[in-house]
Amino acid sequence: DAGVIQSPRHEVTEMGQEVTLRCKPISGHNSLFWYRQTMMRGLELLIYFNNNVPIDDSGMPEDRFSAKMPNASFSTLKIQPSEPRDSAVYFCASSPEGPHSGNTIYFGEGSWLTVV
Amino acid sequence: AQSVTQLDSQVPVFEEAPVELRCNYSSSVSVYLFWYVQYPNQGLQLLLKYLSGSTLVKGINGFEAEFNKSQTSFHLRKPSVHISDTAEYFCAVTPRGSNYKLTFGKGTLLTVNP
């Protein structure tokens, strides 16, 4: 079974540009998460979707960040405009159940974003 | 709210030596506990998790962890490490009944030297 697929794996962009990160969750999983990893702050949950509906976006840092999940097999995280402090690794992850205790969350390999 | 403290940011060991990576958590409610591993330039993958029952949990790659409720700890151990175990290890906690609130520790970088 294919894991969580993210693209692009690496992106270097100039400050002010729009960045779109893409994610395909594991088939059959109805929970999807976007995390951000930095040296300073570690792993932070940005947003959580359940059955394609955003349930918790309290971790989205600013209005410059937006996330969508138009269907069960695709999600995007967009940053517009991007800033150097957005440089981080962004992980998409999925889980087979909704708010249901104890389920494993499966991570993609990450999108490494550098904003110069 | 929950919090996780990984007491060591880096742990260097020699190959075939035992290792313990320490994790303490804080929570006002019952929790489930996880250990994830991140190899260089990869995503996180589950090593093991504690949900209920026996407090000693066995995971992949020979790792095990022990849940200690009184000390609010969930330390990860391996009796003999390999070079390939070099990675970052993350302890995580979630309150029972709410899967998505997974709180991660800052991570421990395990470096296994020959």
pLDDT 10s per residue in chain A (116 long)? 689 999 999 999 999 999 999 999 999 999 999 999 998 889 999 999 999 999 999 999 889 999 999 999 999 999 999 999 999 999 999 998 755 567 888 999 999 999 99
From residue B61, give the alpha-carbon distance in Å to each of B8, B25, B64, B79: 21, 24, 9, 11
The phi and psi torsions of B62 (rounded to 5 degrees) equal: 80, 5
pLDDT at A98 (0 to 100): 59
Considering only CB atoms, A42 lies closest to which of B32, B36, B107, namely B107
What residues of chain B lie within 8 A of the CB of A43, using their CB? 90, 104
Nearest chain B residue to A112 by CA: give it. Answer: B41
Provide mean pLDDT across the span B104-110.
95
Does the beta-carbon distance from A45 to B102 stay under 8 Å?
yes
Distance CA B111, CA A36 (A): 24
Distance CA A112, CA A87 (A): 8
pLDDT at A100 (0 to 100): 57
Residue B26 confidence class, pLDDT cut points 50, 70, 90: very high
pLDDT at A101 (0 to 100): 64
Question: What are B71's two structure tokens?
Answer: 């000390």
Q: How far is A28 from chain B (nearest CA, A)?
A: 17
Mutate to test the interface with A, among B39, B93, B100 (most CBs of A within 10 A): B100
Does the beta-carbon distance from A33 to B100 stay under 8 Å?
yes
Considering only CB atoms, A107 lies closest to which of B45, B97, B105, namely B45
Task: Encode pLDDT of B48-84 as tens digits.
Answer: 999 888 999 999 999 999 999 999 999 999 999 999 9
Question: What are A114's two structure tokens?
Answer: 């550098």
pLDDT at A19 (0 to 100): 98
Question: What are A46's two structure tokens?
Answer: 């940005």
Q: Is the CB of A90 inside 8 Å of chain B's CB atoms?
A: no
A97 vs B41, more confident: B41
What residues of chain A lie within 8 A of the CB of B90, using their CB? 43
Nearest chain B residue to A91 by CA: give it. Answer: B43
The residues, ordered by sequence, that sit 6+ positions from A66 with a Cβ below 8 Å of its Cβ are: A60, A77, A78, A80
